[in-house]
Structures are given as C-alpha cells and as structure tokens.
A and B are shown apart, each in its own frame.
Chain A
Amino acid sequence: MTSGGIRRSIKTGAALALAMLGSVAQAAPHPWQLNMERGASTWSQIPYTLNNVALAVCTVIGVLVFGAMFVAMFRFRKSRGAVAEKWAHNTTVEVVWTTIPVLILVTLAYMATSGVASWADTTGSQMTVKVTGYQWKWRYDYIDYMGKPIEKVGFMSRLDTTSDDTRQLGSGMNPYDVKVGTENTYLLNVDKPLVIPADTKVRFVITSGDVIHSWWVPAMGWKLDAIPGIINAAWTNIHEPGTYRGQCAELCGQDHAFMPIVVVVKSKADFATWLAQQQAAAAPAPPAAPTATAAAAAPTPAGTAKQG
C-alpha cells in the first residue's frame, strides 16, 4: 500500500536522521533553532517531511530562477554594450514552464493528501481527553481509557506562578532565571500538566468555553482550534515518555501569550498509577478507602493496555 510505503520511507528517514544527529525528538524550542522539529508521534513525521521536501523544492526552483535572473542582469546590461533584442514571446518555453510546476504540485499534493487523511482518522483510539480553552487557561477532562469511562478526573492547567510573576510589566525579574532543572521554562510551564500514556493512541476532543483558542503542541505535529459550540477531534501517540511543551496559537485576548500547554507523557505503568491517584483524590470516599480503590484499579488499565 502506498501509505505503508510512505510510512516506511518516513521511518527510514527518521532513523537515519536520528543516527546522524544522535538526539531524541525535541520537546521544547531551543535557541537559534532553524527548522521545524521532527515531532514525537507517528503522524508528526508527516508535516516535518512535507516541510523539508517543500523547502527543498522551493530552494531548487529559487536557485534556478534567480540564478537565471542574475545571469541576465550580468550578461544583458547596457554598460557591457548589450543591445536589446526584439522578441517577446516563445510558446515552447511558456508551455514548459507552465507544465513543470504542475507536475511538481501534483507530487506535493499527493504526499500531503495521505497526511490529511491519516490526521483525521481518530478511529481505534485507546483514550479520550477533552480539552477546553478558557481565557486564559486550559481545562483537561479525562473521558475514557482502554474502553472504560473515567469519572471525575479533570483539572485546570494554567501558567506557573514563577513565569506569571516574571512576566508582569516592571516585575524586575529576569526571564532567564525561570528554570526547571537546567531547562528554561519561561512562559512554557504550567501548574498542572496534562498527563497521558506513551505509545497509546489518544484522541483529543477540543472545544472552548468563551472565545476561540488553538491547542498546539508542536511535538504532535498539529494544532487545532478550540471553538465555542464546536467539538473538534484529533489524535496523537507520543512514543517517548517526557515533557512536551506548546502554546495557545489563536489570539484569545490580553493573556493569549500566557496560557501554555504542557503534556507529560508517562510509561503505561506509571500512567496507570497516576490515573489511580487522581481517581482516588476525586472519590468522595473516606481517606482509607481510596488507597484500596487505587491499588485495585491500577492493574486493570495496564492489563487492558497489553491486549490493546
């Protein structure tokens, strides 16, 4: 199948590039970064590859066309005694330079089309998270995991207080001092991140409670608008556990720059433990009971995960 072929070539390409650079997928922007990040999910390779291919095609065309123009500017200048010719038309040439771009475009369109189809295909997802945008924070509600509904696990996620204090006008605080470990997290950290399991097809249903926002984690390869009254859906399956950072990408008012997105990807086992803790904390039972529930609940999703 063609999509299989594309996927194979993407995997080979990614493996090659990985071997050359000797690094894992980036989870946050870094200084002097020049190109799009490769991303960390299966699908995120598609925009990355398309970006690189389209950039290469444009560079080649640019070099040829501008090269021809600079040759003309050098050869046909009056100061070198050039005398203007009279011709102003050449059908063959015009047909050629109309046809070649069409062929290039068809190739690019073919590559992009399968990417659109696979992006929109949320079937077979093993988990659903509802994402709601608010001015100026995100809310995450866990809907289901491994075919089982999740009750009462949901929370607001907003800019961490260090960033928030630092970003105030005239705070006198230095954005370079906002760090988690060695990583600068200024405006890219939240009080409570979204936690999802690794290697799991997670479906996000995205909406908004007030104005339009856009939920964007570059490592996933897409952004999708959060619109009041509309529920949009997209999916990801990040392979490596880690912390992945993103930002709201649709102007949503004064604090648009200050509602980042942080996704913590845990191994399936760690995620099961985390989920159990959340459920226990949410359960209205006496203090002794939740631990038992958590212990009992924990193996079930992990067990299902193996089957899935």
Chain B
Amino acid sequence: MSYAATHDQHEEHHGAPAGFFQRWFMSTNHKDIGTLYLVFALTMLFVGGSFAMAIRAELFKPGMQLMQPYFFNQLTSMHGLIMIFGAIMPAFVGLGNWMIPLMIGAPDMALPRMNNLSFWILPFAFILLLGSMFLPGGGPAGGWTMYPPLSLQSESLPYAVFAIHLMGISSIMGAINIIATILNMRAPGMDLMKLPIFVWSWLITAFLLIAVMPALAGAVTMLLTDKFFGTNFFNAAGGGDPVLYQHIFWFFGHPEVYIMILPAFGIISEIVPTFARKPIFGYKAMVFAIACIAFLSFIVWAHHMFAVGLPIGAELFFMYATMLISVPTGVKVFNWVATMWGGSMTFETPMLFAIAFVVLFSIGGFSGLMMALVPADFQYHDTYFIVAHFHYVLVTGALFAIIGAAYYWMPKWTGNMYSEFWGKVHFWNSLVWVNVLFFPQHFLGLAGMPRRIPDYNVAFANFNMVSSIGGFLFGATQLIFVGVLIHCVFFSKKRATDRVWEGAKGLEWTVPSPAPFHTFTIPPIINDDELAHGHVND
C-alpha cells in the first residue's frame, strides 16, 4: 500500500518530460491529459458562459437592444453546444482520466496514445465550430438540437456537423479507453463490487457514450446529405419525415442527458461519505440505481417530443417510462441523505457543493417529473419552464458536482490546499445567484414565455430582469473560482497531506500529494479497510 517507500528513489526515470511541447502535446500520461481536459473544459465554460451573459443582457428588458435576432439564435445554439460538448463532457472525462487509474490502482489508462488523440481532437472540433461564427452568414442558429428543416437553411451546417463528428470520435475513444481501463487494469483484489461509485458511474456512462454517439453522428450526417447530396431523409416533399430526425436525435439526446449526470452522481457519492465520515448508504443500491437509470435512458427519448403529435400509445408509453426514472433517482437522493444521517459531518467547500447538488438537482428532478405528465407538458414544452429545469440539472447538478470534485481532488493534484475562505465565498455566491438566475425562469415558463426568443411582452419583464441580474452575478462569481484555482496551483503555501481529508478513503489518498507523475507502477496491495466500500455485504 505504501507507494512512497518503494518508489521515491526512481523519480528521475519517471518524471514529466522537460519540454513544454513534449509534455503537453505528446503526453501519454493520464494525469497530464486529465489536466488538459480540465483546462479545456474551464476555457469552454467561460466561452459558453460569455454567450450566456450576452443572452441575458439582451433579455434584460423588453425590446431589442444589443443584437439582431439571428445573432441571438446563434448565441443560444452555440451556448448549448459548447456547454454540453465543450465544458461538461470534457470536464467529466478529465476527472475520469485523473482519478480512475488512481482509484483502481492502475499505472495509467489502458490506451495512453489514444488518450492523447481523443483529447487533441477536441480543440480542432471547437475551432471548427466557433470559427463558423465568423463566416459570412454566421454560425449554426437552429438550436443545439439542429432540427431540420430549419437547420438545413444554415450555410454553416457542415462546420457544425464535422465538429460534432470530431467530438463524437473523441468521446467514443475516451469511452473505450475508460472501459478498457476499468475492466482490465484494476489492481489485484479490487473487485467490481469494491469499486468507488465514481468509477462505476463512469463505466456505465462509457457504455452509454459508445451506444449513442454513433446515433448522433448518423443523424447529423443525414442532415449533411439532405442539404448537399440530394437525399430526402427529412424532406417531406421528397417523401422524408422531419420527425424522424427528432427520434434519432433524442435516441442520442436522452442517454446524453445521463452521460452528463451519472458521473456527477458518482462524484457526490464520493464526497458525501468523506465529509460525513460514514460509508455510503446502500452501496449496491447506488450501483444498481445507476445501471437502472442508464437502461431506462434508452426508452424515454420521445418525452422530448410530446408536442410533435405522437400517437396516443407512444405518448403514454414514454410518459410511463419517464416517470419510472424518478424511482432509481429518488433512491440515490434518499441514500445520500441516509449517508449523512448518523455521520460526523464537516462542511468544507466540496461538501457544500455536494449538499447544494442534492437539493438543487432534486428540484430539477421535480420539474422533470412534472414534465413527464403529457397533458401538463403540452403547456411546459418549449417554454422557460424547461429552460429552468435543464439548467437546474446541468448547472446546479452537473456543474456543481464538477466544481465540488475540483475542490475535493485539487489538493491531490497540486499538493497544495486551496483557500477555504475563498472557496466558501465562491460557493455561497454561486448558490445564491444561480437560484436568482434560474428559479424565476420557472415562473416565466408557467406564465407562457417560449424559450429561444430574443424579445418578449412586458408581462415577462420583471422576472427576466431578476434572472439577468442573477446571471451576471453568477457569471462574475466564477471568476472567484479561477482565482482560487490559480492561487492553489501557483501560490498556496499550505501543503496538502497525502490523506487530505480526515474521512477520505480509497486508493487515491494513499499516494503522495501531489500525485507523482507515475503512480502504481507496482500494483498496490488492496486492504479492504482502506477502501470506501471494502466490505460490501449488503
């Protein structure tokens, strides 16, 4: 178990390459590639976030003040694409890259060169996507979902399609790598039912990625051939069906939603037991709940399409299937609360983000359940109610989990403690302003404000102004996060211990802080007491 004793003397053979280009561009090291993913995700968070700021500025009051409607549509479309494919997904891949080998006692990812390739595709994909905004005619403006026939009217369609192809290739390679690593590279004695839940959540997520990214690639390729090669997949005048695209897209899109939340569940399931100093409640139930949600995610896609005029039988089937998802999701929430019950809790920044996640993600889950009810969804669909819903699950859900994970593992990555004071300032500001930002959007949707509009009737003015103020302050608050990161990496004088957190359990806490360039070159001896879930007998 003791890495330091056996390996410190070999450091000169195992250190990082000295040259900047060699180290970062040619890296095959899971830690460096994980860092690249995380830095890329943070950059994209601010690019997508700046679009959100522009959107909220235009919506600050009724009337068009800043931009033409078509540019507004580009902003909403790009905001969605960048946040999903550029910020949330790469951040989870980055966390997985960094932590999965450390958590299972593997020396690196199973396929290190492919790991490098899957990251370095991403910058090119996003240059292609973002670059299209500078072309005559502008970037994609048909929404991130790119429904035809509207998306076929845009001349920048091929840029978006090729960017999505590249992101898809990157995601699939990343997923293959994660599956191969988890299934083949666990240290002897690290049984599947002893894996940390974060690792479990990524294993299941990786299968989802492999299953659905090709569906998205197929759908957007059909858009491409419809526009340029005379096919009629989605062209009604040629015998095609515009709704077919929506079926294929959401067959990708709904599992995609869980691709963005299952690793978050995994993170929360690591953070809560650490700071409650008590093992996770119902380990097996947590793992089965994730698997169950993943399975159900394949049979609920048409709940995004209740208003397209589906047959009654389909409306009912997808309504029932969707409602079922709230059962395993509820189990997870109950188990987190039960983990806290009877614990010995402290409230460092990662725990604060985890607790906020449990409450605010559940609020997003509640509005999700409401939208599963078909007749009610006829009202909610395509309004600000759904905008509020998916921002609760993606911002206060996925993003809060990622930020919590960053605070949780940052001392292990850098060897330094972040500033707890500024971490808490960041947390409380995020918590307040994100609710000022998104909660009023429920009211706007219920009152009848459609989504994706740059201008609105004066009846919607009050809550839009409240929401915009919350948005600007939430955006500004994230600069504190950057400050905390920079301070922790370069300036913090407070050294992190190997264990970092009093209640931390698992292999990643047995290596020194910062984690050396190479870890577990000799497989660790697994001691069940050291694992978070070493003695699962329930």
Contact = CB atoms under 8 A, between A and B. Distances in A.
A251 B452 contact: yes
Interface string A202-230: 00001000111010101001111101111
A196 B241 CA distance: 31
B373 interface: yes
A33 B363 contact: no
A221 B378 contact: yes
Given A33-B447, A62-B366, A253-B150, A105 B323 contact: yes
A294 B283 CA distance: 77
Nearest to B150: A211
Interface string B318-355: 01100110110011011001111111111100000001
A79 B345 CA distance: 8
Given A50-B375, A251-B452, A94 B382 contact: no
B338 A93 contact: yes
Nearest to B320: A109
A175 B323 CA distance: 41
Contacts of A174: 63
A164 B270 CA distance: 54
Contacts of B458: 31, 175-176, 184, 186
A142 to B, nearest CB: 21
B331 A116 contact: no
Interface in A14-51: 28-37, 46-47, 50-51
Given A69-B359, A72-B337, A101-B327, A116 B312 contact: yes
B189 to A, nearest CB: 20
Contacts of B396: none
Contacts of B486: none
Interface size class of B (residues with CB under 8 A): 35 or more
B442 to A, nearest CB: 9
Contacts of B315: 116
Given A29-B448, A50-B376, A84 B150 contact: no
Given A77-B344, A116-B319, A51 B370 contact: yes
A295 interface: no
Given A94-B282, A116-B312, A109 B345 contact: no
Nearest to A68: B337
Contacts of A82: 343-345
Contact of A29 (B280, B334, B376, B447): B447
Contacts of B455: 167, 175, 187, 257-258
A243 interface: no
Most buried by B among A82, A221, A258: A82
Contacts of A184: 457-459
Interface string B25-66: 000000000000000000000000000000000000011111
B237 A229 contact: yes
B340 A72 contact: yes
Most buried by A among B68, B142, B320, B373: B373
A274 interface: no
A247 interface: yes
A76 B153 contact: no
Interface stretch (B214-222, B248-256, B460-468, B510-518): B460-468
Given A175-B458, A211-B149, A97 B63 contact: no
B459 A33 contact: yes
Given A105-B323, A116-B375, A229-B237, A73 B340 contact: yes
Contact of A249 (B147, B383, B461): B383
A212 B150 contact: yes
A50 B319 CA distance: 14
A262 B508 CA distance: 62
Contacts of B282: 88-90, 94
Interface stretch (B126-134, B162-170, B271-279): B271-279
B344 to A, nearest CB: 4
Contacts of B237: 228-229
A289 interface: no
A31 B460 CA distance: 6
A76 B308 contact: no
Contacts of B257: none
A34 B324 CA distance: 28
B236 interface: yes
Contact of B381 (A36, A84, A98, A249): A249
A31 B370 CA distance: 24
Contact of A85 (B141, B278, B375, B456): B278
A29 B453 CA distance: 16
Interface in A107-134: 108-109, 111-113, 115-117, 119-120
A257 B63 contact: no
Interface string B54-92: 000000001111111110010000000000000000000
B300 interface: no
A246 interface: yes
Given A29-B449, A65-B334, A253-B150, A186 B457 contact: yes
Interface in B403-432: none
A55 interface: yes
Contact of A31 (B283, B308, B343, B461): B461
B236 A230 contact: yes
B379 A51 contact: yes
A54 interface: yes
A168 interface: yes
A133 to B, nearest CB: 11
A167 B450 contact: no
Most buried by B among A84, A206, A218: A84
A23 to B, nearest CB: 15
B369 A68 contact: no
B345 A76 contact: yes
Interface string A162-183: 0000111111011110000000
A101 B330 contact: yes
B355 A31 contact: no
Most buried by A among B73, B141, B150, B280: B150
A226 B333 CA distance: 39
Contacts of B456: 187, 257
A87 to B, nearest CB: 7
A212 B305 CA distance: 12
Nearest to B278: A84
Contacts of B122: none
B341 to A, nearest CB: 5
Given A68-B341, A84-B503, 5 more contacts: A30-B459, A58-B366, A176-B62, A212-B242, A252-B150
Across the A-B interface, give the 9 residue pairs with the lowest CB-CB distance, nearest first: A229-B236, A257-B453, A232-B309, A115-B375, A89-B538, A58-B366, A33-B447, A222-B378, A85-B342
9 contacts: A33-B443, A37-B447, A97-B330, A112-B373, A117-B312, A221-B375, A250-B147, A253-B142, A256-B73
Interface of B: 62-70, 73, 141-143, 147, 149-150, 153, 236-237, 240-243, 276-283, 285, 307-309, 312, 315-316, 319-320, 323-324, 326-327, 330-331, 333-334, 337-347, 355, 358-359, 362-363, 366-367, 369-370, 373-376, 378-379, 381-383, 443, 446-463, 503, 538
Interface of A: 28-37, 46-47, 50-51, 54-55, 58, 61-62, 65-66, 68-69, 72-73, 76-79, 82-91, 93-94, 97-98, 101-102, 105, 108-109, 111-113, 115-117, 119-120, 166-171, 173-176, 184-188, 206, 210-212, 214, 216, 218, 221-225, 227-230, 232-233, 246-258
